[in-house]
Structure 1
Amino acid sequence: MNRSPAAGGIPADVVTLGDHERVARDRLSVSAEAYFNGAAADEITCQANRLAWDGLRLQSRVLRPLGGGHTRLTLLGRPLAHPVLLAPVAYQCMAHPDGERATARAAAALQAGMVLSTQSSVALEEVAALVLPEPDHGPLWFQLYLQQDRSHTLALVRRAEAAGYEALVLTVDAPVHGARDRERRVGFRLPAGVTAVNLAGLVPPPALPLPPGGSLLFDGLMPTAATWDDVAWLRAHTRLPLLLKGITHPEDARQAVALGVAGLIVSNHGGRTLDTLPATADLLPAVVRAVAGAVPVLVDGGIRRGTDVFKALALGATAVLVGRPQVHGLAVAGALGVAHVLRLLRDELEIVMALTGCATLDRIDAASLWSPDARSP
């Protein structure tokens, strides 16, 4: 196959997100590849995410008027050019020297929303300074893990507010890391020069003393893990809209709405926390039904094609996020690679919209998916 670089540094045979992943594997270090592409335990959930989108079938429609069609939408009162956002991914400088700087430039250029990780390897203020001056940039959100000391969390919130971030995304499904076997096999360590710079200077509180025969997890870590009370506290201490990422159960969705969150992200953390969770495509419909339109519901996990984006919207999502694909594009060609990933998804989404007779996103619904039980009206 032709691996010679095309104009701008993307190899000529890289024409899909799968191609980006293939080339990225050769360009990432063994340690970085295990970190970005690995998942928890036997990686069953990670694989299921991908297979679930593939398993859904589309229903084509013909001869519908499509002139003037577009992919525009409104999310949290904010106009977006298309429904593809970049999910929070930590330590992107492991994939490319420019790391989150390159991702930010690509997101701004492609009018895509970007969610910056708390564990970014570039300061949140620097990323904001790259995105916000661009006149047509998409929404810029900041992802939070609640720190054990609330003052540390509040310091991060105030920095995000001051820097111009438009919303906070609280990750709630990872009070502890999953059993990431692939990382352990390669002895993963952060390389020199790559750190979670936004957490610099935050000194963790002293470890709790363990009772005799106590558990490091249940007696040491879990007593300070976040609860619904912390969500309520955070809502009361920020002027920014708050979204919860990692919602998979309808009851949790309803409780989040009752606390006044602005949106939900159905996510199983890309299969990186609890293995054998269902795929997000399977979890999404019940969460959408539970909130009954009270807040927008987004979804991530395994999205690799414009058809996947379309299917997510047909299941009730307002928008989608992609995580690993942005890292693959970053490893392949820096900012240009991330921009190429976003452009491919948008182009493919427009193609499937045209072929299913949906000129705009609001025309995409459950009837856009084929069912073997469907009967003619």
Structure 2
Amino acid sequence: MAQSIDAPDDPAAASRGISRRTQSDIYRAGISGTRPRVPVDADALEAAARKALSAEAFAYIAGGAGAERTVAANRAAFARWQVWPRPLRDVSSRDLSIDFLGVRRPTPLVLAPLGVIEMAHADADLAVARAAASLGVPYTLSNQASVPMEEVRDAAPAGSRMFQLYWSSSDELNASLLRRAEASGCEAVVVTLDTHLLGWRTRDLDLAYLPFTRAMGIAQYSSDPVFQQLVRERVRASAASAAEAVDAAPPVRLTPKAVAAGVRIARKGAALTGSPSVRENLRSPLPRAAVETFLDVFSTPALTWDDLAKARQWTSLPLILKGIVHPDDAIRALDAGADGIWISNHGGRQIDQSVPTLDVLPTIAERIAGRVPIVFDSGVRQGSDAVIALALGATAVALGRPYAYGLGVAGEAGVAEVVRNVLAELDITLGLAGLTSIAELDRHALREA
């Protein structure tokens, strides 16, 4: 039996009637000329984020692989389904709660892991964690976060969190990250399987911009004792080897952007050098060595199903495997002892012309047959999308880019408004379909277009 989640201000109760309150609050504020902090329409929200963010930040968050046909296909897949309205049913009271990982959650939403969100706002993961906690929505903290997981815990101690692991080439580092995740109160580990090679991301390539080379998005690493030791070992390497590494790399021209990147790396070097001084860190080899070490160990293309057993030795937390798209892999995940699967094509960021996730959700759900929970993402932009995914077999639905756009436009309040709007539309759609709970959602609520 699932236990009830115990959070301040009772977010479970707050989720009931969320659509009525959301619309009422917006319209009442409009009387005095106040409009929402972020656009409610999904396309307008993206357009506002494009204006608010730097070209590099928007490209990194919004972009996909190749010609971005997978991004388009993820969205097009939702257009192939229609919600079937059923009137004259008493839907005056609606329940959005679900059971997920042994806990009764107030809503079926989770926030997907997004890395390097300091590109969107200086408060980064802290703002997202606080916003998610205020609505009782679990936040999947990225392995590529801008803030160490312990600081996120302290910023939102009542919040529900999972930790995403990018399987590093260093098992010692993997084990250390999972120990920290467990110690910092994460409820599960989400092992991302589909980024053992970095996708061909054309927007980033056109800008020649990868944030990790600027020491962004590596806070989980630079705060980790095993990673710090790897960096020190790198610095202690022979001068000859270091010279060869420098000689092998393309020369870097001393431009204002190069200087700014160097200063940024130096600022982020405090965790490694123990000094907050940018001047001292500019002189230290540790911050730059941290970037190079990260690029070396970030992932491994040699990862196989057999390796996953190691994670059971590193943590007692439930393991959710993220990046499942093929039904056979879903069954293989069960055979490997996964506690949940996460259907995802990384929001279209890894393979151009990949299979849309919504197209395979019904088949995977049928084969899984409720044995483990299914989290679904890729293409979700609004509440009606979540209704469709839940009706086709998802246990929970993960929201990604929209909350990053909200963060970029209006910080923590922007994230909260985006999530609130998705939940409000989900609630309204559920009621207009003649249903009163998420448990009632199934294929009968939909019609194929």
Q: TM-score, normalised by structure 1?
A: 0.88
RMSD, matched Cα: 2.3
Selected match of 2:203 from 182, 185, 195: 182
How many residue pairs align between the two structures? Answer: 351
Q: 1:169 touches 1:245 (CA, 8 Å); kept in 2?
A: yes
- The one-letter code sitting in structure 2 at the alignment partner of 1:56 is W
Residue 37 of structure 2 corresponds to: 10
The reply on whether 1:145 has 2:172 as its aligned counterpart is no
Give the 3 Å change call, closer, same or farther, for CA 328–223 of structure 1 in structure 2: closer
Q: 1:105 touches 1:335 (CA, 8 Å); kept in 2?
A: yes
Q: 2:166 touches 2:298 (CA, 8 Å); kept in 1?
A: no
> Any runs of at least 4 consecutive aligned residues in structure 1 with deviations exceeding 4 A, and if so which?
4-9, 220-224
- The one-letter code sitting in structure 1 at the alignment partner of 2:186 is Y
| TM-superposed deviation, 1:7 | 5.3
Residue 220 of structure 2 corresponds to: 198
| TM-superposed deviation, 1:289 | 1.5
Give the 3 Å change call, closer, same or farther, for CA 6–280 of structure 1 in structure 2: farther
- The one-letter code sitting in structure 1 at the alignment partner of 2:59 is A
Residue 74 of structure 2 corresponds to: 49
The reply on whether 1:262 has 2:284 as its aligned counterpart is no
The reply on whether 1:330 has 2:436 as its aligned counterpart is no
Give the 3 Å change call, closer, same or farther, for CA 6–343 of structure 1 in structure 2: farther
SS of structure 2 residue aligned to 1:62: coil
| TM-superposed deviation, 1:15 | 2.0
Residue 214 of structure 1 corresponds to: none
Residue 175 of structure 2 corresponds to: 154
> Which runs of 5 or more residues in structure 2 are unaligned?
1-29, 235-296
Q: 1:142 touches 1:168 (CA, 8 Å); kept in 2?
A: yes
| TM-superposed deviation, 1:174 | 1.4
Give the 3 Å change call, closer, same or farther, for CA 149–17 of structure 1 in structure 2: same
SS of structure 2 residue aligned to 1:170: strand
CA-to-partner distance for each residue in 1:26-83, whole Å, 9 max, x for gaps? 0111111111111100100011111111221111111122233210111011111111
Residue 216 of structure 1 corresponds to: none
How do 1:219-258 and structure 2 match up within 5 A?
Answer: 225-258=302-335
Residue 355 of structure 1 corresponds to: 432
Matches of 2:445 and 2:36, distance apart in 1: 37
Matches of 2:145 and 2:97, distance apart in 1: 29
Residue 128 of structure 1 corresponds to: 153
Q: 2:324 touches 2:343 (CA, 8 Å); kept in 1?
A: yes
Q: 2:196 touches 2:301 (CA, 8 Å); kept in 1?
A: no
The reply on whether 1:65 has 2:142 as its aligned counterpart is no
Matches of 2:217 and 2:64, distance apart in 1: 21
Give the 3 Å change call, closer, same or farther, for CA 105–221 of structure 1 in structure 2: closer
Paired-residue identity, %: 39
| TM-superposed deviation, 1:195 | 3.7
CA-to-partner distance for each residue in 1:139-194, whole Å, 9 max, x for gaps? 31000011111110000000111111110000001110111111011121428563
- The one-letter code sitting in structure 2 at the alignment partner of 1:259 is A
The reply on whether 1:82 has 2:107 as its aligned counterpart is yes
Name the structure with the higher helix share.
2
Matches of 2:121 and 2:180, distance apart in 1: 25
Matches of 1:6 and 1:53, distance apart in 2: 35
Q: 2:390 touches 2:442 (CA, 8 Å); kept in 1?
A: yes
